Amino acid sequence: MLDLNHKSGFVYGRDASEPEPLGARINARIDAALVAERDRQRPRDYLGASRIGEPCARRLVYEFTRTPVDPGKDFEGRSLRIFEAGHVFEDLAIRWLRQAGFDLRTHTRDGGQFGFETAGGRIRGHVDGVIVAGPEVGLTWPVLWEHKALKASSWSDTAKKGVQISKPVYFGQMQIYMAYMALDAALFTALNKDTCELYHELVPFDVSAAQELSDKAVHVLRAADAGELLPRIAAHADFYLCRFCPYSQRCWSEGQP
């Protein structure tokens, strides 16, 4: 007779001698592969426009000089999965906008990304796209298009407060793009990853904001070249941005203010 009872040594379908559940073992393999893939990529040798809006200039110096982050603060496989999933959501948003009649261009005729570089290539940026025409929705074409996929709480905060207040790094990113690509406005699209709700916001070009960000980028490059650190953003290590910074331990052990 066939005995279908659980055999000794099995716990809820898992052999008690196994160190980890099946899912954990599979995920460990996936994450290790993603980390290895990232490590094979050539590291950036430029300051990306997507980072210039970062409030702490000292952190940007660390990033530009490829300073190692604090122990345990490097991107893990889960973070890499989140980033890659963001590209999938972006592709969906592109398809939806095009189906709705928006002439959204994401690549140049030779297949490259739209973007810019300045300061001898040491400052660069690649945009998600440019909408050059579309239905009558109250916009004047062309406009920069920037997309972000956000978790529900972050999406709600952005929809409530607007991108400049809720997501200053994204706001700065768009201002730099518009400045160097001679565009007067941007359409910011945020997708709620939990509900697939879409939030759209028109972001006008702000000359003074773009100039301030451009000046900050130059200061970062000069500090990096001189082997110097720019001032910290806060006076105490318990400042909320410092608590989440991957360089916090290193930064607050440095002698410079």
Does residue 133 contact residue 141 with C-beta atoms inside 8 Å?
yes
Listed in sequence order, the DSSP H helices in 115-239 are 152-161, 163-166, 168-181, 207-226
Answer CATH for 51-253 from 3.30.70.890, 3.40.50.1820, 1.10.150.120, 3.90.320.10: 3.90.320.10
Tens digit of each residue's pLDDT (9 = 90 or more) over 168-194: 999 999 999 999 999 999 999 999 999
**172: nearest Cα among 133, 123, 108, 122:** 123
Least confident of 5-9, 133-137, 142-146: 5-9
- Distance separating alpha carbons of residues 75 and 72, to the nearest angstrom: 9
Residue 13 — left, alpha, or beta (φ > 0 → left; ψ -120 to 50 → alpha)? left
Tens digit of each residue's pLDDT (9 = 90 or more) over 59-114: 999 999 999 999 988 778 888 898 888 899 999 999 999 999 999 999 888 888 89
Phi, psi of 233 (to 5 degrees): -80, -20
Does residue 252 sit in helix, strand or coil?
helix
Question: Pairing mode, if any, of strands 143-150 and 185-192?
Answer: parallel
Q: Which residues are 48's β-sheet partners?
A: 124
Q: What per-residue confidence (pLDDT) applies to 180? A: 95
Tens digit of each residue's pLDDT (9 = 90 or more) over 190-211: 999 999 999 999 999 999 999 9
Q: pTM (2 decimals)? A: 0.86
Q: What per-residue confidence (pLDDT) applies to 53? A: 94
